[in-house]
Structure 1
Amino acid sequence: MPTEFLRLLVRRFALLLGAYLLLRLGFFALNYAVFREAPAGQVSLAFWHGFRFDVAALLLLNIPWLLLSLVPGRSQGWQRLVRAVYLLLNGFGLLLNLVDWEYFRFIGRRTSNELSTIGADVQRQAGQLLLSYWWLLLPFGALLAALWYFYPMPRAERQADEGKLQAASRKPQADGRKGRWHGKRLAAWSLQLAAIAGLTVLGIRGGLQLKPLRTGAAFVQQPAVLGHLALNSTFTFIKSLGYAAPERKNYFASPQALQAALAARPLPKRAAAPLPGRNVVVLILESFGSEYTGVENPGRRGYTPFFDSLATRGGGLLLPDHYANGRRSIEALPAVLAGLPSLMEGAFITSAFQTNKLHGLGSILARHGYQTSLFHGAQNGTMGFNTFGGMSGMQQYFGLDEYPGAAQSPDFDGHWGIFDEPYLQYFAQQLSRQQQPFFSTLFTLSAHEPFGLPARYRGKLPTGTLAIQPTIAYSDLALRRFFATARRQPWYANTLFILLADHTSQSDDPGYQNLLGEYKTPLLLFAPGQSLPALPQPRISQQADVPATVLDLLGLPAEGQLLPFGSSVFDAGTSGRAIFFSGGSYWLVHADYVTELTADNQVRLYPYRRHQLPAKPLAHPDPTKLRQYGDELKACVQFYLNGLADNRLYK
């Protein structure tokens, strides 16, 4: 293993580091809106920190190539084989990072194990995704060609010299001289091999610190959002494979101290239930962020005139300070149907905890005589919704397979499933066949990438600067026609409707381009012909409040089967809260402050302002609030992570 070989190895690895620097620059440029408030010095520091993650990711990805590089053999054929492995492995890494140039806009974080958990969904949409994002193939091809062209190969004359040297070593020599020559060569080879092995281990660990480099280490820098810039998608993807359980937390020494800090709320005690015996219909609207509504943005153009009318007419109640518990569709169902927010990197539905004991709203209502069902017009099995529906107590699941004609139907969008308008009409018909009282949830899908529309609506719906805006208008139109059909059904007047989004999506409003804005979604309760109870003001709400709110309105007991993260939005004893995990930190939203618990367990306070979060925390926060809210957030995190690990979320 001559010194020249080590130089070649270093140059080849440096070439990869250069490629990842270009990938990070592209990621920064295309997602500049996310990072624009960060000072230039902190952005530069994020790039510098990124080298640490790049080294670790590239070493992990290239272990097969490194091993092949150590095998003796200097022929041109062998070198071309080693280069082919190099290009194959790193082509995959390039592709992961290029995908996140766009995918990051939708999920607000680097890709993890989504590709392994929803791989079948991605495979079905490969053709359409390629048509939508074909331009990503241009930088991919350019970078891959650059890796091939600039990959250092041993010079032919040097290989010839080495061949002569090897031949000379085979000539008869004095035994002592030959032995000393081979001994020195073996010693040098051993030292160099040990050095390569040691540096590889050190690089993968990310340094000499006690624990190996983790994703959360990227978010210690402020503002924390720069952690996404420091990371690379190869690192987050590889680290998520084999799914390691989240680290347990032990902030509180006793269960009593934990419960006291948790600030869990029981259902309110009422003399009479506001809506006893009502049917319940939950409409989870794909990507229906608050930014697109008119009612929440006076003076700006909205794309949801019918939703706005429901929010302002009699029987409708809009909660203006509502937040999603996650940024992905797969995280919405556990929050809405079971009160389980998303407080870990992976989704609960695809995690090792998916078989844990879980009491969903469906199972609670079924015990009180409700017929329960879940509708989603996508292919059966998409994101594990059918599986989770059963786990949460939904007795029936209606997917694409149950729709008349299925994928052969003219209502099929050619990508994910059935367009919203015909599917909502189908939903209304199916509800008329349900035995009352019923509890049914529908998840729409048209306002999802690639944002397709039925042919008759193309060019006829309101447009803006974003591809999603016409599809939001289409989903709103589909809602209008659903309610027009529902009003003619005998069950309509006896039904509580709950409308909310799964998560936010594309944004062109700087006022929403911050952490809170990325989670700001609407929540609308609508009970035809009846006024709902007064809403405590101000009131923070979240998806995880839905189960408690439904039971409160129906007057049904929780029976110890509600998780402590949410509460009824009509509970006058609290101003509510919202909790989520983002950027390696845990976040707790109250009506006065937003609390951050960082990856290194620091607690920070920010003043609360609807869908807006300052770039910097308060320099001199109220120590009482800092301790109170910090302990509350720590209690939620400890209860969640340890409860999942021990399968003891319920008493």
Structure 2
Amino acid sequence: MNQMLKKGAATLDKLTRWAGPYASLVQLLLVGLVLLSLSRAGLVAWQWGRVSATGIVGQVMLQGVRADLILLGYFIVIPLVLAPLLAYQRTQRLWKAISVGWATFALIFIVFMELSTPQFVMQFDVRPNRLFIEYLSYPSEVIATLWNGFRIALVLGVGFTIFLGVVIYRLMRDASAHATVWRPLKMLLVWPLLVLLVAFQIRSTLSHRPANPALFALTGDSMVNSLIINSPWSVLTALNSMSDEANSSEIYGKYPHAKVVPTVKSAPWLRDLEFTSAELPTLHRQVAAMQRERPLNLVIVLEESLGATFVESLGGLPVTPELEKLKTQGWWFDQLYATGTRSVRGIEAVVAGYGPTPARSVVKLSLAQQNFYTLALGLGKQGYHTEFVYGGEAHFDNMRGFFTGNGFQKVVDRRDMTPVFEGSWGASDEDLFDKSLERLKLLHDAKKPFFSLIFTSSNHEPFQFPDGRIDLHDTAKQTVNNAVKYADYALGRFIAQAKKEAYWKDTVFLIVADHDNRVYGDSLVPIKKFHIPGLIMGADVQPKRIQTIASQIDLAPTLLSLIGVSSEHPMIGRDMARDSETPGRALIQFDNYFAWLEGPSATILRPGQTPLRGDYDYATGVMTPSTVAPDPVLVDKAMSHVLLPSILYREQRYKLPR
């Protein structure tokens, strides 16, 4: 054993002696890559049936190395930052102790996490994630569970980690024994270059956004996707996201949880429904208002930042002439409100029917990355093909990871397109819609019902779009008004083409914004900037104006009813196909404020303070603070609806029964 260690250390020393004071960092990189690649190869061999079924075995290994480089880059950064302070002749011993000690710690952490992975995969079907961290809060229970249920694995895992830890330490110590210290000038001249190199190693791309775990979600199998990244990075990412989740709905004060579900279920559109599960409190049976021999297809066009600000008939600017023409051809929502100010918030509302909270959208949160209800998950169980089409990079905001883990069978993004025009955010809306038309025709020809979510991006700063398509609204080309007008042009062109296709008569289309372009105002909650357009058309949908207040969370239940799908789901939104006349409400999250809009009153919840009442004028979009205390009934509704999503998320109850 000693001989093998000496030979290994000598080899490592030869490979890295050129690195001088940075030898330990290069050794960390090389040894780390070997350990992580061997672990991934073992996991792939163990799960060969599922990995080979995806047809991307090579990508799993190759992209895995890319993910490993990112993780190791983060580990290298810490000693690298200290090098200009310590990597000199006088402090050589201290520098070696720190760099070797840190490299050893990093490698032992990697070994521990990778050895923990098989047991975790057997338990949860993914690599260690947030649950791994949460269980550390309950050491007695965890140790008892491991000792009683996984004693052999526990003993072998801990023992092997200690053994490899000793081996790694001795290897790193001996390999760095002869590392030289450069002259200060040489060390300081090389240091900036290494910083740039490691920064690129961590960023891992020249694209608009740095790589993140969602970039590696390449299949519809969450377990296979998790094999591509490594367990240390998975856990560290989950740990980082948990700091955001701490800002949950409890910031609005104490409220009895026993009142939450009954209050939510008391809504006129929910109180007479059949709730089918004690474990899943909002799961209920929805019978479609439109009974059909064969359910219709569904296409949702989620328009980036297309608020009512840009729709003349909703009190905005005259920059959406195509949408104005289309609004008379289907169900037009006069008072539809977004739930938040980010695309992922609009996604969770429109695609999952999920209400907003002060925490980040569930699209980015760890407990919602698998088996979290979405339309795709529900429709997939009804035999639909489901896919997401986006002109940019689908891993942005963790969309790819969330979608592939929750029912979307295919993701089509920029790399699947050959755009005529490409901006900072990817292919232009025209190119996106051209690809979508191609996909819809293929899906129709396959004679299987389909659900396609199309997400635009041209109306996003820096507002880049092709020349010669529109008469500019503003003199300067790259303005939000011109970008919206171009996005509207591309949308009109898409619908005109779709109408010519055979699937038009069998497909329901929803056109809706994710949010407005900028949410601002001098109100505590600028409700006017949450007002968005919404239009349902296609198939046999007859023209209609819906004037009652509606929320984005009402759209998914309505669409299920219109396409003729009766099903169980946990969504609490309103089926407008059954009742579009009863007064409605909107749920709005703005920073740490939550607004419940019902009638002329807005009940506003504030962190650590009592709720406020505002009187909202729908014609002017002005909310006036009221000196009158808010109605306790409305406060109950607001508290219940902001707490419910947090509870369902934390307890993982927003899903379908197994």
Give the whole-Å Cα distance in 2 for the aligned partners of 1:527 and 1:375. Answer: 19
Instruction: Give the Cα–Cα distance (whole angstroms) in 1 for the partners of residues 649 and 338 of structure 2.
Output: 21
Is residue 551 of structure 1 aligned with residue 556 of structure 2?
Answer: no
Deviations 1:134-166 (A, max 9, x none): xxxxxxxxxxxxxxxxxxxxxxxxxxxxxxxxx
Code of the residue aligned with 1:430 in structure 2: it is: R
Q: 1:593 aligns with which of 585, 592, 601?
A: 601
Question: Following TM superposition, by how much is the alpha carbon of 1:339 offset from its aligned partner in structure 2, in angstroms?
Answer: 0.9
CA contact (8 A) 1:342 1:581 kept: yes
Separation in structure 1 between the aligned mates of residue 523 and residue 310 of structure 2, nearest angstrom = 11
Change (3 A) 1:126 1:253: closer
Question: Structure 2: how far apart are the matches of 1:243 and 1:126?
Answer: 20
* Superposed counterparts of 1:72-87, under 5 Å: none
CA deviation after TM superposition for structure 1 residue 304, in Å? 0.7
Match of 2:152 in 1: none
Q: Is the 8 A contact 2:301 2:454 kept in 1?
A: yes
Which stretch of structure 1 is more off in the superposition, 429-438 or 603-612? 603-612
Residue pair 1:512, 1:611 contacting (<8 A) in 2 also: no
Which whole-Å CA distance do the structure 2 matches of 1:261 and 1:373 have between them? 31
Please point out which of 444, 464, 467 is paired with 2:479. 467
User: Is 2:411 the counterpart of 1:397?
Assistant: yes
The corresponding residue for 2:615 is 607
Structure 2 match to 1:338: 352
RMSD: 3.6
Residue matched to 2:307:
289
* Deviation, structure 1 residue 507: 8.0
Residues 339 and 547 in structure 1, CA contact (< 8 A), matched pair in contact too: yes
For residue 437 of structure 1, report the CA deviation from its aligned partner: 2.0
Contact 1:605–1:618 (Cα < 8 Å) also in 2: yes
Q: Give the secondary-structure state (helix, strand or coil) at the position aligned to 2:532.
A: coil
Deviations, residues 6-50 of structure 1 (Å, cap 9, x unaligned): xxxxxxxxxxxxxxxxxxxxxxxxxxxxxxxxxxxxxxxxxxxxx
Amino acid of the structure 1 residue aligned with 2:430: E
Q: Secondary structure at the match of 2:305?
A: coil
Amino acid at match of 2:405: M
Are 1:515 and 2:526 matched, yes or no? yes
SS in 1 for 2:635: helix
Cα shift readout 1:102-141 (whole Å, capped 9, x = no counterpart): xxxxxxxxxxxxxx9xx969973389xxxxxxxxxxxxxx
Matched residue of 1:632: which SS?
helix
In the alignment, the residues of structure 1 paired with residue 522 and residue 558 of structure 2 have an alpha-carbon distance, to the nearest angstrom, of 29
Alpha-carbon distance in structure 1 between the residues aligned to 2:465 and 2:603: 40
CA distance in 1, matches of 2:396, 2:405: 15
Equivalent residues of 2:305, 2:515 under 8 A apart: yes
Alignment partner of 1:325: what SS?
coil
| 2:402 match | 388
Residue type at the aligned position of 2:324: D
Question: For 1:41-440, what aligned pairs fall within 5 Å after superposition?
Answer: 124-125=207-208, 242-247=243-248, 249=250, 251-253=254-256, 255=258, 258-264=261-267, 265-266=269-270, 272-273=290-291, 277-297=295-315, 301-312=317-328, 315-355=329-369, 357-404=371-418, 409-413=419-423, 415-434=424-443, 435=446, 436-440=448-452
Secondary structure at 1:491's aligned position in 2? Answer: helix
Residues 1:649 and 2:654 aligned together: yes
- Letter aligned with residue 459 of structure 2: A
Q: SS at 1:344's partner residue?
A: coil
How many residues end up aligned between the 2 structures? 409
Question: Is contact 1:496–1:528 with CA below 8 Å preserved after alignment?
Answer: yes
For residues 165-200 of structure 1, give each alpha carbon's deviation from its aligned partner in whole angstroms, at most 9, with x where no partner exists. xxxxxxxxxxxxxxxxxxxxxxxxxxxxxxxxxxxx
Given the superposition, is the C-alpha separation of residues 278 and 321 from structure 1 closer, same or farther in structure 2, using an over 3 Å criterion?
same
Task: Using the TM superposition, give the Cα deviation of residue 646 of structure 1 relative to its aligned residue in structure 2, in angstroms.
Answer: 1.9
User: Among 449, 455, 465, which residue is 1:443 paired with?
Assistant: 455
Query: Partner of 2:639 in structure 1?
Result: 634
What secondary structure is seen at the aligned counterpart in 2 of 1:580? strand
Residue 296 of structure 1: CA displacement? Answer: 1.7
C-alpha change, 1:627 and 1:556, in structure 2 (3 Å) is same
Cα 1:447–1:361 shift into 2, 3 Å = same
Task: Confirm or deny that 1:580 pairs with 2:591.
Answer: no
SS of match in other structure, 2:644:
helix
Deviations 1:390-424 (A, max 9, x none): 233111110112113xxxx44322x1211111221
Letter in 2 for 1:295: S
Q: Is the Cα contact below 8 Å between 1:246 and 1:344 reproduced in 2? A: yes
Look up the equivalent residue of 1:504 and give its one-letter code.
D
Among 528, 539, 551, the alignment partner of 1:542 is 551
Report % sequence identity: 22
Give the aligned partner of residue 517 of structure 2.
505
Q: Is the 8 A contact 2:504 2:538 kept in 1?
A: no
In structure 2, the CA distance between the partners of 1:442 and 1:248, relative to structure 1 (3 Å rule), is: closer
Contact 1:424 1:478 in 2 (8 A): yes
Q: TM-score, normalised by structure 1?
A: 0.57
Q: Which runs of 5+ in 1 are unaligned?
A: 1-63, 72-115, 128-237
Residue 344 of structure 1 and its aligned partner are, at CA, apart by: 2.1
Alignment-derived partner of residue 568 in structure 1: 575
Distance 1:562 1:454, change over 3 A: same
Q: Distance in 2 between matches of 1:618 and 1:123?
A: 51
Distance in 1 (CA, whole Å) between partners of 2:602 and 2:293 is 33
**Gaps (5+ residues) in structure 2?**
1-77, 86-198, 211-238, 274-285
Contact kept, 8 Å, 2:287 with 2:567, in 1: the verdict is no
